[in-house]
Amino acid sequence: MSDARAFLEKTVSFMQSYDLGLLSDMVVYACMEKAKENGITTVRTGDPADEYFEMGGADIPGKLHLQSERIATRLGLNIDHPYSKKEVREIAQNLRREDNMMYINTDVPSDQYQQYERSRSSEPPIEPGYVWTKLTLRRAVYGILPNDVIYGMKAPLQYGAWTYKLTNGLNDDGEDSILKLEQEGLSFWETLDKGAHVGLYLIYKKAGLTPPLVMDAQTQYACSWCAGAVERSVDICYTCGGNPPYEKPKIRSPGKDIKIRKVI
Ligand SMILES: [Zn+2]
């Protein structure tokens, strides 16, 4: 766990960010760094697939801002997104449901995230060995990867890689530091993970990092959450993960006069 914590700190500095998304980005970063060490120059990721299918099969606008792309660029790697290509999407659309999903009697569940969500509710756990999805992708690497990797449980990166556990104890000062930072004008996600967001900020601050200044008011504005510069063409702050960055999240301490730090 201490290695993972050290790598999280490295990711904060590498991405110059304390976005909660770093808990999944650090997994992508670790894989790409390893790929680079092994002499690989181009990496492929499947991350625009969700956006594509969420949009009901519409063309993906060219303005997708993917973290994987930012990580690859910083590492000097080329990146390729097969799902952004029409030919790949056409093949995917022509697959039958049974090409991609099948009941397989395995001794591990196929969907770890669903298990995790169930573990937090009163619903009974799902019996292991049920419908496995993404079979086309799994079959594509038969004989290339070990079976237990091919039949790894489906989970968001931070759960599959267990990095979500790093959120425990990220903010040792608890409520006190959250309130103090909010009074300084900073905002954090109003979620169960709020302490984790503050904890990431403390790592960011300890590393001597500060949000980038707005250098060009025509193309940038100051994030309402962290005051860092945000490009007008994107709807997320890459520094703090504020979304949308032009609007502060609900503040928990009503009556406090929260001022946003001024940037030039
Ligand atoms: Zn921000």
Mean pLDDT for all residues in the chain = 81
Q: How far is the CA of 213 from the centre of ligand 1 (A)?
A: 11
| pLDDT tens string 78-121 | 998 887 788 888 888 899 988 888 877 777 767 655 555 666 66
User: How far does residue 255's CA lie from ligand 1's centre (Å)?
Assistant: 23
| The pLDDT value given to residue 264 | 35
The domain locations on the chain are 95-160
Enumerate residues 6+ apart whose C-beta is below 8 A from 51.
Answer: 60, 64
Question: CA 239 to CA 16: how far, in whole Å?
Answer: 7
Instruction: Determine the pLDDT at residue 104.
Output: 77
Taking each helix axis from N to C end, the angle separating 67-75 and 2-15, rounded to the nearest 10 degrees, works out to 90
Neighbours of ion ligand 1 (CB under 5 A): 223, 225-226, 228, 237, 239-240, 242
Express each pLDDT in 211-254 by its tens digit: 999 999 999 999 999 999 999 988 889 999 998 899 888 654 43
Give the whole-angstrom CA distance, residue 3 versus residue 5: 5
- pTM, 2 dp: 0.78
- Name the pLDDT band for 257 (thresholds 50, 70, 90): very low
Rounded to 10 degrees, what is the CA torsion of 132, 138, 142, 148? -60
The pLDDT of residue 60 is above 60: no
How is residue 143 annotated by DSSP?
T
SS3 198: helix
Of the CA atoms within 13 Å of residue 195, those in its CB half-sphere come to 14
* Residue 256 pLDDT: 41
Q: How far apart are CA 103 and CA 100, in angstroms?
A: 11
Digit-coded pLDDT (tens) for 153-167: 777 788 778 888 887
Best-predicted range by mean pLDDT (46-50, 144-148, 211-215, 233-237):
211-215
Residue 193 above 90 pLDDT?
no
For residue 120, the model assigns a pLDDT of: 65
Helices and strands in the chain: count of H runs, count of E runs: 12, 6
Number of residues that make up the chain: 264
Distance CA 4, CA 110 (A): 25
**pLDDT computed for residue 168 by the predictor:** 75
**Ligand 1 center–CA 1 separation, angstroms:** 28
* Residue recorded with tokens 């004989």: 143
Decide which of 133 and 145 is more confident. 145
DSSP string, 17-70: ---TTHHHHHHHHHHHHHHHHTT--EEE--TTHHHHHHTTTPPPPTT---HHHH
Contact, 160 vs 112, CB < 8 A? yes
Q: Is the pLDDT of residue 260 over 50?
A: no
Q: Quick one: pLDDT band at residue 196, thresholds 50, 70, 90? A: confident
For residue 139, report the distance from its CA to the centre of ligand 1, in Å: 41
